[in-house]
Structure 1
Amino acid sequence: MEKSGYGRDGIYRSLRPPLVLPKDPNLSMVSFLFRNISSFPDKPALIDFHTGQTLTFIEFKSVVSKVSYGLLQLGIKKKDVVLIYSPNSIQFPICVFGIVGIGAIATTVNPIYTVSELSKQVHDCKPKVIITVQELLPKVKDFNLPVILLGTDKKPLEPIGKIPSIKLFTELVNNEGSVDLDNRIKQNDTAVLLYSSGTTGTSKGVILSHRNFIAASLMVTADQEWAGEINNVFLCVLPMFHVFGLAVIMYSQLQRGNSVVSMAKFDFEMILKAIEKYKVTHLWVVPPIMLALAKNSVIKKYDLSSLKQIGSGAAPLGTDLMKECAKNFPQAIVLQVKFLSQFFFSFGSGYFNNPQATRLTIDKQGWVHTGDIGYFDEDGQLYVVDRIKELIKYKGFQVSYS
């Protein structure tokens, strides 16, 4: 093999050591998530920046188990779809892991979606329950589906639309029951449906298995593993309905034993306050936030010396901007990453209810066609420079005009 990783068979291979993936086929992403917590049961796992609520890893596992039990009591069973339509909170990942912990399937929705956009996803994946927040109830009132309400301890006094029942998250977890989170699940079972336009304009459900999440989390945290890093603190301001927030930050870092600080929405000065207060070590953002880190003088008001790494993803970032940001944070590594929902096809099974789109994305040899244009240099570094398909990236979100 050449120095670049280019082999005689015409395939480029990473020069990094190969990942060692768990071979047990009967392994869920939730049991994998909690496999090591006996080593750090009282370490903070999830922290809500807005409320200050903190869950240790042992408390985190307990509440996920209670959510799983509560969902079973509501009649949710393996392979049923549960839709989460909510901004970030520490209840968001708890619900995701509670859903997939019983073999059901979680699907997530951008909380700024209109009723029309939400309706398309509801009709495509046919969820049994919608998990949402008080302010979004008017948008889910006509789907005739039961609702689990996050972030409040009060139900609406009057019936809303066609919603047959509303259960509070606090009611869901206020029980003595629990679930064996190692039960009845295989690595190849579907865990999550993340909707993405991919390389075409229409939104499609990307099927992600338990194995997808496990493999991706080991890849994302490989550098930490090789360096022997422990006790990192990640700030999650990126949306958890997106692959970056949910898989790359939330799941990957928690399975590693890192702490994650949740933030509901973007506010630049709140980000700086969170970094200072919780001694955040890793900040992964999108280019507009990176621009603010490079240009906004307000950063001088805060102690941001805890930062060891600043990463940008979801849209391209210029080299000049990266260098300018690095000047403000000399103690931190500034880098750019690329993740897409379809990337996980490397270990998964295509688009939900859309075999034609799957065939156009995954060829007969199993290669995933991402729609990107790039090149390798002589050292094996991959540079993505353009897209084949006409797709605009606006603030990290895809807008198709093809």
Structure 2
Amino acid sequence: MMLWTEKYRPKKLDEIIGQTSAVKEIRDWIEEVKEKKVKKALLLYGPPGTGKTSAAHAIASELDFDAIEVNASEVAAGEKLKSVISNLGAPSLFGRDRLIIIDEADALSSSEAREIARLAEKLVSICPIVITVNDMYKNVPPEIRRISKPVKFNRLRWTTIRSVLASIARSEGVNVTMEVLKEIAVNASGDLRAAINDLQAICQGSMDLISEIGERIGQRDVEKGIFDLLKAVLISGKCGYSKVVLRSLNQNPRFVFRWIEENLPLFYKDPKALRKAYDALSRADLFFKRASETGKMGLLTYSIDLMTFGVCSTKTEKPRGWVKFRFPDIIRRRSATKEVRKEAKEIAMMLAKKLHISSSQVIEEIFPIIREDIKREGKILGYISHEIGISKDRIKEIIS
């Protein structure tokens, strides 16, 4: 199943909507590239879903260059860029010049940004570079800004977004009222990509739900349970609708991820489809990790897309017979040990005060020593029991 965001992605700069000033600046930079006078990378910045990545690929198309994309949210983006540099001397597949696109550069850590900037500065004189970010001033390190020519992409008006949605609806043969399209457009807050995803989700979920869900999409109050989501992803193949259901759930996406992970092998019997589905889940997991490490919760959007659209689109056949959904084993085990983990944390905090270190250091460094002492029936356990006022047997039970 093809995402409408890809199907209707602009192929030329003239197709980028609502960014007249930005397109003009981009064309000036393109002329510098053609005349071999470019000295800086092109930094496209602005809110999500305003056309930055599409513009980057449109630049490659207009220059007739091969686009080489390095997504900064990927693991080892710096290593990938090094690999790109080392292979620049080799001819491309079609004998064309190359344009390097560094997408989502604001997802880089400070050290990664410095490395990317150092590599890009060496590279820009022989190969043009386009960098995309959401907030140039908040998240982009000075090393990136110093080597770049900034071009601002503005947040799109809801009227502009509604016009695009109406055009897509006509092309897809979907009868959606202008009132529904307005609700989707306003709720998107200037993010065209999110609006198109919402339109596809509603239309592919159920034609009868277009008006019902569209009127309420701003509040995301579709009252569906976790089983409805699993049915949409794993059984019925309603990939677009699965995302609507997920957004309506009052649950942490990570919790829902565990449900899909647990039940996936029960419903996917085709080994190739199962492998592709697990690949989508593993990529979703990487974005969860990146969001947690960087604090950039916007990356969760990619996790949600991969665990719903990504998994669902790999399905090749419906399951035969009735299969019962299974509660995630990892959540069950964590629930069963919740009190023990709570007591372990309390012990760690008490020891942290005594030892003048953090509780995390106690868990990582001191607990292993205590466990080893317990195995050898040493004296450390007795000393700790005396210091914190908890019996040796209880400490042994919790830490072991």
Instruction: Establish whether TM, by shorter chain, passes 0.5.
Output: no
TM-score by length of 2: 0.31
Instruction: Give TM-score, length-normalised by structure 1.
Output: 0.31
Structure with the bigger RCO (C-alpha within 8 Å, sep 6+) is 1
Mark the structure with the bigger radius of gyration.
Answer: 2
